[in-house]
Each structure stands twice: as structure tokens, then as C-alpha cells.
Amino acid sequence: MYPPYPGPVQPPGVFTRPVEYRNGPGTAGFVLGLAGAIFSVIPIIGVIAWPLVILGAVFGAVGVARVRKDKANNTGLAIAGLVLSVLGLIICVLWVLLFTHTQSTANDRTVTVHYGVTGTANDATVSYSLGGDGTSSTSQEQVPHLPWSKDVSAKGEVKSGSLTVTAGQAGGEVTCTVSVDGKQAKTATASGPFAKASCQF
């Protein structure tokens, strides 16, 4: 009996090259996660990070699953993409919470608007208005003598307002002044019969 044939002998110095598995989802997850994480820290522009980090998390998870099934071997790239995507998603959520809190605080605060009219005119006509979050009001008063003033309180954000004073037929000088929470917003002066001074903000 002869010993079994051992088969072909591999020449010295020749090595079998290991198979390189591709992991497209893992690579895509890393690219999307990196871009999303960068954009997520930028105010306003960061809104485009939402689709990037969500897609990055999905592709990153698929890439990690492929590695576990031994269908790919770039473990670090897939995990990095998943981590960056989750980090970017957390930052996006924090931005939303911060914006919601800021908006809620602005809607709950009370703003005081001061309207004032001074001058030498008599029998003046004063009109003032105030516009806020979905609300607006306009009032008019006949003022026989100046000065005149009015404080109006509004809840939420004051977006617009105006004060107009018109002198009577006898003329004279009229000056209107508007301030919001103690900060002067506008002032104007006019003189003469039926002169009109208008302050808008």
C-alpha cells in the first residue's frame, strides 16, 4: 500500500489573500452620520441634519448587523457611523426642546407698552394700536389738553403697534413717544393746524 497523495504543495512565499468583504451600508452610515453631526451643531441650518442623522443611524445599524453576520469586516467604520448619527440626533432633539422652551417663555411673559403725547396743541385726537400673537387692538381718544399717556399690557410677543396724534384746528406742536418695557421704540414731532405725528414700531 502506498500512502495517500498529499495534493499540490503551495510554493514557499505564496500566501492566500483573505477575502475582503464590502460594507456599503456601514460606509454610507459613517458619511451620513459625520455630515449630520456637523450640521446638527449649527443653529437654523441644522434642520437639514434631521434626515442625515436618521438615515445615518439606519445605514449604520445595517452595517453593524452585516459585520455580526460575517458579511463585512469594517466594524469600526459601521460603529462610528452609528454613534455619530445617534449623537447628531440627540443634538437635534435638544435644539427642538430649547426652541420650544424659549417660545413658551416668550408667550407667557407680559409686555407693557407706554404711549405718550406732549406738546402745546389743544383738542388733539390720539389713536393707538397694538398687535401681538394673533391679537390686535385699536383705540381712539379725544384729548382736550396735553400731555396725555396710556399704558397697555399685553401677554406674549408684541409684534407691532402705532401711536398717531393729530392736532386740532388751532394748531400747535404735538410729539408722540412709544416705549416697550421701558425701552423707547419711536418718537415723532409735528406742528401746525391738523398736524399729524405718527410713531410706529
Note the pLDDT tens digit of each residue in 161-186. 899 999 998 889 999 999 988 887 88
Is this prediction's pTM over 0.85? no
Region 188-198: mean pLDDT is 93
The chain-wide mean pLDDT, for the chain, equals 84
Q: What percent of the chain has pLDDT over 70?
A: 84
CB-count exposure of residue 130 (10 Å: 0-12, 13-18, 19+): buried
Give residue-wise pLDDT tens across range 126-161. 999 988 665 678 899 999 989 999 998 877 676 788
- Whether 34 shows a pLDDT value over 90: the answer reads yes
Instruction: Give the span between the Cα atoms of 87 and 42, in whole angstroms.
Output: 14
Walk me through the domains of the chain, giving residue ranges and CATH numbers: 24-107 (no CATH), 110-200 (2.60.40)
Q: Kindly tell me if the per-residue pLDDT of 14 is higher than 70.
A: no
